[in-house]
Amino acid sequence: MVALLKHEKFSVLANEYATKGAAGSNSDEQQQLSYAYFLYGSEKYEECLKYLASCSFQTLPFLLLSSQAQNKLQNYAKSAELYVNILKKFPKADDYTDILVNAMASAISSGVKHKKKVIDVVICYVICYMKRKEKSKNKCEF
């Protein structure tokens, strides 16, 4: 199934999921993520979010997909909030700079109420990230 997802052959997956149903809560992490990604790739963002909320795994890929689905639904403040929580929970993620960029973009799109708060938090993370890159012993405090 992962190969099908990577090649964007969603019609094959649609038939697979129509026959066997969604990946249930007893499924392994890969199966649950594959189904969530299938929903996202099929532009079923609301359904994707509901499914992600029901999943037994809440690892980085699940949280990122949830943030992205919120963004696609133009829930920019929620998306930015999720990205900030991801930055807090996974400070050593390989995609840290990409997550920072996505958080900033969501914050900017979120509107005046949420923008300043989220941007301030993201800027703090950028500074901390740069300090880490310089191998500084200073820790980030929030």
Distances (CA, A) of 96 to 60, 92, 100: 11, 7, 6
* 63 lies in the same domain as 126: yes
The pTM is what? 0.72
Residue-wise pLDDT tens for the chain (142 aa)? 344 444 555 566 666 665 665 655 556 888 888 888 888 988 999 999 999 999 888 899 999 999 999 999 999 989 988 998 898 888 788 888 888 888 888 888 887 566 666 667 777 777 776 676 665 444 554 3
Do the beta carbons of residue 40 and residue 65 sit within 8 Å?
A: yes
Can you spell out the DSSP letters for 26-61? TS-HHHHHHHHHHHHHTT-HHHHHHHHHH-S---HH
Range of the domain at 142: 58-142
What is d(CA 54, CA 9) in angstroms, rounded to the nearest whole number?
Answer: 25
What is d(CA 109, CA 71) in angstroms, rounded to the nearest whole number?
Answer: 9
- Which among 56, 73, 93 is the end of a domain? 56
What is d(CA 86, CA 94) in angstroms, rounded to the nearest whole number?
Answer: 12
* 45 lies in the same domain as 92: no
* 112 lies in the same domain as 51: no
Q: Tally the domains of the chain.
A: 2
- Which among 10, 34, 56 is the end of a domain? 56
* 41 lies in the same domain as 15: yes
